[in-house]
Structure 1
Amino acid sequence: MGERPRWVTLYDPRVPYARASDDTALYYEVHGDGEQTLLLLPGQSNGHHWWNSARPDFDSVFRTVVLDYRGIGDSDKPDTDSYSTKGFALDALAVLDDVGAERVHVYGTSMGGRVAQWLAAEHAERVDRLVLGCTSPGSPHGIERGENVRRALGQRDARAARHALLELMYTPEWMAANPGPYNTIGVRGTPSHVLRRHRRASAEHDSWDALPSITAPTLVVHGTDDVFNPTENAPLLAKRIPGARMELIAGARHAYFEEFRSVASPLVLDFLTEVS
């Protein structure tokens, strides 16, 4: 027999995997012991570690589910045209089915917020309450990052590009006090074909026409100093989703949920636990 491709997961029966509709193995973890399930969705080219800092704030109240997107971490890494924000939403449903969660709260940040939009718009029966953090409706209606940001991230010097990404995520003051490691800047060892397909999936997202169909109570959260995913996207989403409310966190950049955790987590918890 030939050697298995390096992007195919070798199953360990002790580790939780769900199977997507195309048989892709999807790694996930379940934490907490609350009666209500909360699905936490990470950003582009990231996995469950994205939530390491903030997740404990929710574990005491909910059963939290975190996952590795296809291509990331311990999930399979197919080199196929199976990567899209709609497709990631279907993968998330496969995970929820595997843990037996019929109706859940969903909190997605960055690209995870784009995935969460499709969950709420196209699978409304599965979503109780929805939180969209530092995200956008996508092109052509969303506000795109500036050319200066693209140039900074596209530098050939990998260390300079990494530093530019960190400065988009966190304030210099916070980085000085928290030297890492940082769980929001990608998963080490991710294959180039996955990075390329994740970038395309996020870039091609366009939920504009679907947003008015969202019926779940929705909270839109964004940092006022986010230029990675410009803050102007927050009011676009809040106005487009019926009944949505918006909260802006002063001084926060893209990773508001980590650096401004003491503000963001209670804000989200209050929303998720309020009595309708």
Structure 2
Amino acid sequence: MPRVSRDGVSIYYERDEGDGTPVVLVQGLGYGRWMWRWQREALAGEYGVIAPDNRGTGRSDAGLPPLVPRLPRKLRAPLSGKLAGYSIEGLAADLEAVLDDAGVFDAHLVGASLGGMIAQRYALEYSRAKTLTLLCTSHGGPDALPVPEETREHIFDVPKGASERETLRHRMRPAFSERFTNRNPHLMDRIIEWRLERDASDPAREAQAAAVLNFDVGNRLDRIRVPTLVCHGTNDRVVPVENGELLAEKIPDARLELVEGGSHCFFIEHADRVTDELRSFLDEHE
């Protein structure tokens, strides 16, 4: 499988061949390529898909200073936030390196959460984006609604005495609706296994979180000149739905689609609805 090096860091990506303009699926904070499995299966062949691993995730290198991963979390987290963290600018440059290596000149960019931030910055800095689809994300900065404090504590909490699987399950709860997790216990078990296998390590996840905290393109969105689909769940407990509404207001050629009752991971819980909206949007601009 292909790799490209940028800034001395190896970035891994996968490519599914298809007939149309490639769809590039950009992951959320800490999440591996598994998160796109439903949309990827639906689009591959028709459009073709490029699925990179964000820096520090899956098979991509983290590129962190050697000392950082060895530090205890209490010392490591502040260091990641101030000195060793990633930036959205750098993650967008990684994406540009991937698309250049893949020989892609036009691409439909689809990003969720952190991936949506990367897609915004990419569209502002580079020229390969044909359309944008932004899921459960924000433009950052003081005008955006922050992650609720209760959710932030839950996501980064490490329950005392909990196993790795129990910790992941605990951290995931705000991203899914209780109804979905109760009705799909076997799928949630599989997601835990996928996360253990393919997600970012804790140090890389903290470095990605630093990129989110420092992101702000709120006053630049009027410069995005490509058709944009903004999708958001109305019950998102991680990135409040008002952030999707702000994006749709500030991006000139944007359309907002709200999924009633949708959680942060509404692209999994409502996979068919999200995939239908995405395919319809792509067909319109293909």
With structure 2 as the length reference, what TM-score do the two structures score? 0.84
Matching of residue 39 in structure 1 with residue 24 in structure 2: yes
CA deviation after TM superposition for structure 1 residue 173, in Å: 2.9
What SS is found at the alignment partner of 1:151? helix
Q: Find the counterpart in structure 1 of residue 234 from structure 2.
A: 224
8 Å CA contact 1:47–1:67 kept in 2: the answer is no
Q: Find the counterpart in structure 2 of residue 263 from structure 1.
A: 273
Matches within 5 A, 1:134-213: 134-157=136-159, 158=162, 162-175=168-181, 176-177=183-184, 178-182=187-191, 190-213=200-223
CA distance in 2, matches of 1:192, 1:154: 10
What SS is found at the alignment partner of 1:198? helix
With structure 1 as the length reference, what TM-score do the two structures score? 0.87
CA distance in 2, matches of 1:220, 1:132: 5
Q: State the identity as a percent.
A: 30
User: What are the ranges of 5 or more consecutive residues in structure 2 without an aligned counterpart?
Assistant: 66-83
Q: Which moved more, 1:216-225 or 1:161-170?
A: 161-170
CA deviation after TM superposition for structure 1 residue 49, in Å: 2.2
CA distance in 2, matches of 1:257, 1:191: 23
Matching of residue 112 in structure 1 with residue 115 in structure 2: yes
Query: For the aligned residues, what is the CA RMSD?
Result: 2.1
8 Å CA contact 2:110–2:119 kept in 1: the answer is yes
Matching of residue 19 in structure 1 with residue 29 in structure 2: no
1:250 is aligned, of 246, 260, 267, to 260
CA distance in 1, matches of 2:206, 2:147: 18
Q: Render the CA deviation track for 1:132-152: whole Å, top value 9, x for unaligned.
A: 000001122210122221232
Tell me which protein shows more helix as a share of its residues.
Answer: 2
8 Å CA contact 2:233–2:266 kept in 1: the answer is yes
Q: Render the CA deviation track for 1:58-99: whole Å, top value 9, x for unaligned.
A: 113211000111111111121154721111111011111111
2:122 maps to amino acid: L
8 Å CA contact 1:32–1:63 kept in 2: the answer is yes
8 Å CA contact 2:85–2:210 kept in 1: the answer is no
CA deviation after TM superposition for structure 1 residue 210, in Å: 1.9
Q: 1:31 to 1:189 in 2, by over 3 A?
A: closer
Q: 1:96 to 1:154 in 2, by over 3 A?
A: closer
The alignment covers a number of residue pairs equal to 260
CA distance in 1, matches of 2:3, 2:272: 32
Q: Find the counterpart in structure 2 of residue 6 from structure 1.
A: none
CA distance in 2, matches of 1:70, 1:44: 11
CA distance in 2, matches of 1:31, 1:69: 18
